[in-house]
Homo-oligomer: A and B are copies of this chain.
Amino acid sequence: MMTDWNAMSDADFRKEVRGFFEAEYPEELRNLPHRPKFAEIAHWHRKLHAKGWVAPAWPAEYGGMGLNAAKLLIFYEEQQRWGVNRGRDMGVQMVGPLIIKFGTQEQKDYWLPRILSCEDIWCQGYSEPGAGSDLANLRTRAEIDGDDFVINGQKIWTTMAHDATHIFMLVRTDPDAPKKQQGISFLLAPMDQSGVEVRTITTLSGETEFCEVFFDNARTPRENLVGELNKGWTMAKALLSFERIFIGSPSLAQNALGQLESFARGRGAFDDPVFRDRFAQAALDVEDHAALYARFADQLKRGETLGADVSMLKIWVTECFQRITELMIEAAGPDGGTIGPLQVGNVGVDVLSSFYKARPGTIYGGSNEIQRNILSKAVLGLPG
């Protein structure tokens, strides 16, 4: 029978999770600096799958671990602590919960097992060239034609679309709806068809994790509509509620701080009191952020719903992460513009890569400007 993880004590559960990661997670995949293609982590995924741990948050009846909030946080904390790659988890994190909540029995039966096994690998089609911070402004159309939807338009910033078999997307199904948040639907579509073209986007650091996806009369069967027609916006928002604390998790900043410290120590940057002061600022920023994160996590663990104020975690930690990587550049001195690992002692620290990695945090997932707009109205009650 399934284990009832929630019945375990937090400490025992943490031990169990930690033990598994430490014993089974391949050393060479720890703290991967890039997003892997599936092939690169397939071996690890199979181990997880065999253990039944692919979907910690899903109900056990659908093949998940059925963890409550407290256990889920522990699971993720241990995952981050050990540098376990989250894998190609769009299916597990986004599509699965959507189908579980809004899908038909047929959709559940068909898609969920394929998500767990990674037979289908998903990417997320939300953003469009004209719909960034203003996500509801999307223009990609889907029109019913016989048994299919016919899709035309363009998605952008689609992470790893070039290594995905399916896309879940927000599309406009009623262009005449009075408000732009209306008339949007949630569709699943196969990538492997002539009407879908994927182009990778090169970032300023030379990475190609992001893609543009072009739809030119691409088709998907009508049964791939999830939930009601024209009600996709509300569904998409509902999905985000639990995600909001994770986007503000201290882990990225904490890891970067650790990297900064060992690099600075190796390079002798701590000999400079000015650098020490700025390091101390950054370190205390991370410590005190973690204290605030713990406060919100406690709320979750007590079963409370998080309010809009949880966004402050994301604002603080993404900016903090950036400052830490800027300090790495400083500590590198004349090597601050050099691509690739810089040697300190026996290890190489790639300061530029960290610097680049910290950039998108303030832009994606609702830019920090948008987050401040939300806090201003929803939390502080400021007018207009």
Residues of chain A touching chain B, judged by Cβ–Cβ distance below 8 Å, are 272-274, 277
| Chain B hits for A272, CB < 8 A | 273
User: What 5 A-B pairs are tightest by C-beta distance, nearest first?
Assistant: A273-B273, A274-B277, A274-B274, A273-B274, A272-B273
Cα of A273 to Cα of B273 in the assembled complex, Å: 6
The docked-state distance in angstroms from the alpha carbon of A124 to that of B7 is 75
- Quote the shortest CB–CB distance from A134 to chain B (angstroms): 16
Which chain B residue lies CB-closest to A276?
A: B274
Residues of B within 8 A of A273 (CB): 272-274
Contacts of A274 in B (CB 8 A): 273-274, 277
Question: Chain A binding site: helix, strand, loop or mixed by DSSP?
Answer: helix
A274 to B276, CA, bound (A): 9
Q: What is the distance, in angstroms, from A337's C-beta to the closest C-beta of chain B?
A: 22
- A277–B272 Cα gap in the complex (Å)? 11
**Closest approach, in angstroms, between the C-beta of A269 and any C-beta of chain B?**
13
Residue of chain B at shortest CB distance from A273: B273
Q: In the complex the two chains form, what is the Cα distance from A273 to B274 in whole Å?
A: 6
Q: List 5 A-B contacts (CB under 8 A).
A: A272-B273, A273-B273, A273-B274, A274-B274, A274-B277
Q: How far is the CA of A277 from the CA of B276 in the complex (A)?
A: 12
Query: Taking CB as reference atom, which chain B residue is nearest A277?
Result: B274
Min Cβ gap A275→B in Å is 10
Chain B nearest CB from A290 CB (Å) reads 25
CA distance A272 to B274 in the complex (A): 9
**CA separation between A274 and B275, bound complex, in Å?**
9
User: Chain B residues near A277 (CB, 8 Å)?
Assistant: 274
Distance between A110 CB and nearest chain B CB, rounded to angstroms: 50
Complex Cα distance, B278 from A277, in Å, reads 11
User: Shortest CB–CB separation between residue A326 and chain B, in angstroms?
Assistant: 16
CA distance A273 to B270 in the complex (A): 13
Instruction: Give the Cβ gap from A279 to chain B, nearest Cβ, in Å.
Output: 12
A281 to chain B minimum Cβ distance, whole angstroms, is 11
Q: Closest approach, in angstroms, between the C-beta of A284 and any C-beta of chain B?
A: 15
Bound-state CA distance A94–B97 (Å) is 70
Assembled-state Cα–Cα distance A75/B272 (Å): 45
Give Cα distance in the complex from A272 to B273, angstroms: 8
- A144 to B369 Cα, complex, angstroms: 52
**In whole Å, how far is A373's beta carbon from the nearest beta carbon of chain B?**
16
A274: nearest chain-B partner, CB-CB:
B277
- A274 vs B278: C-alpha distance when bound (angstroms): 9
The distance from the CB of A261 to the nearest CB of chain B, in whole angstroms, is: 19
